[in-house]
A and B are shown apart, each in its own frame.
Chain A
Amino acid sequence: MSMVRKDRQWWRYPVLVLVIAAYLTPIYVLTGISFKPASDLSSYWHFPDNPTWQNFISAVVTGHIFTALKNTIIITACSVVLIVSVGAITAYPLARMKTKFTKGMTAFALIIMMVPPLSILVPLYATLVGYGGINRYWGIIVTLLTFELPLSIFLYANFIRAIPQTLDEAAHIDGAGPVQKA
């Protein structure tokens, strides 16, 4: 049986080459373009004959790419920490309790996860202006947090549901309070 299977494996390699080609072509083209001077009008498929670093230098000097990178890192780091921690805290009661309140909140989180945040762009922008959060780091971090939170709650809730409730009861017997249990 295993011999037969092995013999049928050869087709996987041409497919692999095709898949990799389909997925790496754009990156190849992008790399080629990034090393080309703007005056080079040859085909995008053609890798430049004498590659130049000029584009990268202008990205740093006039494009301020490092400022952008710094902003990205700050925003990502803060929001990831917050999304993960707040998501975990919120998911625990939503997974363990079945009341009208938790059911409603789960449904609400589901809806937030689904609607495009841009649909409430106008009032959200106006509200953020009111909070003084425009052009501030915390403004974008908190907005990101709000709209990414539902996904994090969902993933956590599914994992917490997989933990048997008997473990909670055992912890209770051992004297763990509700906070320790969570």
Chain B
Amino acid sequence: MNSFRKVGMKKQLSFKQQEDLVMYLFTIPALILFVMFVIIPFVRGIFLSATNWNGYSQHFKITGIKNYVRLCTDPNVLRALGNTLIYGCGSTLLQNVAGLLFALYLNKNFVGRTLGRTVIYLPVMIAPLIMGYVMYFFFTLGGAMNDVRAFFSQAPLDWLSDGKRAVAIMTLINSWQFAGISMVIYLAGLQGIPTMYYEAAEMDGVYGWKLFTCVTLPLLAPAVTSSIVINLIGGLKLFDIIMALTGGGPGYDSHSLSTLVNRTYFGSENGGYASAVGLFAFVLIGVISYFATTTLNRYQEAMS
């Protein structure tokens, strides 16, 4: 901030100061947006979370930490938290494994490679909400999956009636849909590895699994980092698929923190409590993701 102070004192700015000033000016649009649409709502949220505001009324009372006490003892919040972690970590794991396998598989030159890449990337371009409704046709009582069961003369199953199974199904759908992103990241990473490393490995007689773990994987470290971070973020934010498939049900069994906030605000008209849950999610997910990212980055730097 030095340069700002010096503007008044000196008419002529040195080149460095001039440049710094312009640099700071460049950040202003983003700064205004962040302040207006993140920081102000955040601060307002802290205030609202200490009230019993119902979402539209002009009249509300300040209730202090009552919402937070309720939050700590609410089993629905705890379950949503658990589900969010399952959605986040589960789909990160599945997407990365699947994406890496797809990338290794499609990295070699063969006919149909482009087709494979296109088809795997296709669902990424479809809105998750639409994908959720498509999947609804598979998992409803009269849906496509039950037709498969009927084909093997099994009784139809209500796939989404069990909370745990619904969570697993939605994690799978999310991973299936977004494995293409991981694949693209890993493909880019694989193409960045110079072939001379492989030639050297070939000379040393290194093949197969050992080649993969000793040469490919360490050189892919940056791709692994960005893929994990992007998928973790996507999984922890999961909202659309849940809304389309179960709406958080049965009961509150498959809510993520995002859908729970939505439900508490628009469904139960409990603005104060919803913003308390929201702030809790904001801080918690922010801390988890921030630590994950910085740890991964440090690990990656140590590796290279």
Contact = CB atoms under 8 A, between A and B. Distances in A.
B37 A29 contact: no
Contacts of B285: 114-116, 119
A124 interface: yes
Given A111-B289, A111-B290, A119-B257, 17 more contacts: A12-B108, A20-B119, A23-B122, A43-B147, A87-B30, A89-B29, A90-B26, A92-B23, A105-B30, A110-B290, A113-B233, A114-B293, A115-B286, A120-B38, A122-B48, A122-B274, A126-B271
Contact of B34 (A108, A114, A131): A108
Nearest to B38: A112
A180 B45 CA distance: 41
A123 interface: yes
28 contacts: A12-B112, A13-B112, A19-B116, A22-B176, A23-B122, A33-B137, A44-B137, A44-B147, A110-B290, A112-B38, A115-B286, A116-B236, A118-B239, A118-B259, A119-B279, A119-B282, A122-B48, A123-B48, A124-B37, A126-B44, A126-B271, A127-B37, A127-B40, A147-B37, A153-B30, A172-B15, A177-B22, A179-B22
A66 interface: no
A126 B259 CA distance: 18
A162 to B, nearest CB: 12
Nearest to B280: A119
Interface in A49-82: none
Given A122-B265, A178-B18, A114 B42 contact: no
A139 B163 CA distance: 36
A44 B140 CA distance: 11
A15 interface: yes
B299 interface: no
A30 interface: yes
B196 to A, nearest CB: 16
A105 B27 contact: yes
A24 interface: yes
B197 interface: no
Q: Which of A93, A118, A142 has the largest number of chain B CB atoms within 10 A?
A: A118
A26 interface: yes
Contacts of A86: 29-30, 33
A121 interface: yes
Nearest to A126: B44
B115 interface: yes
Give the interface size bracket for B toward A: 35 or more
A124 B43 CA distance: 10
Contacts of B112: 12-13, 16
A9 interface: yes
B261 A121 contact: yes
B26 A182 contact: yes
Interface of B: 1, 15, 18-20, 22-24, 26-27, 29-31, 33-34, 36-38, 40-42, 44-45, 48, 55, 102, 105, 108, 110, 112, 115-116, 119-120, 122-123, 131, 134-135, 137-138, 142-144, 147, 176, 233, 236-237, 239, 257-259, 261-262, 265, 271, 274-275, 278-279, 281-282, 285-286, 289-290, 293
B236 A114 contact: yes
B265 A121 contact: yes
B144 A44 contact: yes
A118 B262 contact: yes
Contact of A92 (B15, B26, B38): B26
Interface string A144-182: 011101000100000000000000000010000111001
A142 B38 CA distance: 11
B198 to A, nearest CB: 12
Nearest to B29: A86
Given A20-B119, A119-B258, A123-B45, A142 B33 contact: yes
B116 A178 contact: no
A122 B236 CA distance: 19
Contact of A12 (B42, B110, B119, B236): B110
A47 B285 CA distance: 44
Contact of A115 (B26, B36, B48, B289): B289
Contacts of B123: 23, 26
A178 B19 contact: yes
B261 A119 contact: yes
Given A9-B110, A45-B144, A126-B44, A142 B29 contact: no
A158 to B, nearest CB: 9
A143 B262 contact: no
